[in-house]
Amino acid sequence: MPSKDETARRKELLHSLRSQERQKTREGLPAPILALKGLFDFHHAHLTESDCDDTLRLTREYVRRNTMDENLVIQWLEKYGGYCDCEALDNVEAIVEDAVSGYDQIRDETGSVN
């Protein structure tokens, strides 16, 4: 069984690694956080009305309407397990929410097209 000092050292190491992963995620965002929050809000609004069709149709629609780099956003979503709209919402938004402090309080005030 590890000593208290060893346990504390391991905890600190894990904390440091988590912090580095969050920073890496933030640095790798394919668009400003407000635009990504808008994308996920768009998913929330539309996927409560209808089921996912196992494509990134809603993502492509939002990205095009808001002049975002479609290839960059889709590659980024797929990197984190977002191969369709519901996976983007379930898998990727959770990663962003963990990486961006205060994510749940972000409001899209940019007037982007939803």
The answer as to whether 114 is a domain residue is no
Which residue, 96, 64, 66, 69, is CA-closest to 80?
96
pTM: 0.84
Q: How confident is the model at residue 7 (pLDDT cuts 50, 70, 90)?
A: confident
Instruction: Provide CB contacts within 8 A for 39, sequence distance 6+.
Output: 31, 59, 62, 63, 66, 68, 73, 88
Q: How confident is the model at residue 114 (pLDDT cuts 50, 70, 90)?
A: very low
The answer as to whether 95 is a domain residue is yes
Q: How confident is the model at residue 96 (pLDDT cuts 50, 70, 90)?
A: very high
Domain count, the chain: 1
Q: Is the dihedral of CA 80, 85, 90, 96 positive or negative?
A: positive
Domain range holding 90? 4-105
Place of tokens 């394919």: 30
The answer as to whether 111 is a domain residue is no
The answer as to whether 54 is a domain residue is yes
The answer as to whether 113 is a domain residue is no
